[in-house]
Amino acid sequence: MSSVVTICPKLVSNCGNQLVSVDLNTPVKSLSELVSKQLQLNEDKFDLMCFGRILSPDERLDSYGITNGTTVFVLNKTDFSAFADKSDTEAMDTRPTVSAADVQHMVIALRTALI
Neighbours of 15 (CB within 10 A): 15
Q: Which pLDDT tens digit goes with each residue over 47-89?
A: 898 988 889 999 999 999 998 888 898 888 765 555 555 555 5
pLDDT at res. 27: 92
Structural domains of the chain sorted by starting position, each given as residue range(s) with its CATH number in brackets = 2-79 (3.10.20.90)
Q: Rounded distance, CA 32 to CA 55, Å? A: 10
Name the average pLDDT for the chain: 79
pLDDT at res. 13: 54
pLDDT at res. 82: 52
- Does pTM surpass 0.75? no
pLDDT at res. 86: 53
Question: Residue 12 carries which side chain, given as an amino acid letter?
Answer: V
Pairing between β-strand 46-50 and β-strand 18-23 as defined by DSSP bridges: unpaired
Question: Predicted confidence band at 93 (pLDDT cuts at 50, 70, 90)?
Answer: low
pLDDT at res. 96: 67
Q: Which pLDDT tens digit goes with each residue over 18-36?
A: 888 888 899 999 999 998 8
DSSP per-residue codes, the chain: -EEEEEEEESS-TT---EEEEEETTSBHHHHHHHHHHHHT--GGGEEEEETTEEPPTTSBGGGGT--TT-EEEEEEPP--GGGTTS-HHHHH--PPP--HHHHHHHHHHHHHHH-
